[in-house]
Structure 1
Amino acid sequence: MSGTLNVFVVSLDTQSERRIDPHITVEQLKNKLELITGVPVANQAISIRNSLEDRTVVATLSDDSKPLGFYGLRDWHVLQVDDTNPSTSLTGQLTDVTQVDKFELSDTAYAAHDPDTVLAYKQRNKVGRFAPKDETSQPAVEVKIDLGSRCEVESTEPGLSKRGTVRFVGLTSFGTGEGIWVGVEYDEPMGKNDGSVQGKRYFSCRPNYGAFVRPEKVKVGDYPVEEIDLDEEM
Structure 2
Amino acid sequence: MRAPQPITVNVFVVSPDTRSERRFELHTSVQQLKTRLELFTGIPVPNQRILLLNNEQDIEPVRVLDDDSRPLGYYSIRDWQVLKIIDTNPSTSFTGQLTDTSQVEKFELTEEEYAKRNDTVLAYKQRNKIGRFAEKDEEPQKPVPEVNIPVGARCEVETTEEGFHKRGTVRFVGSTKFGTGDGIWVGIEYDEPIGKNDGSVNGERYFDCKPKFGVFVRPDRVRVGDFPVEEINFSDEEM
- What's the TM-score once normalised by structure 2's chain length? 0.45
Instruction: Look at both structures and tell me which one has the larger radius of gyration over its CA atoms.
Output: 2
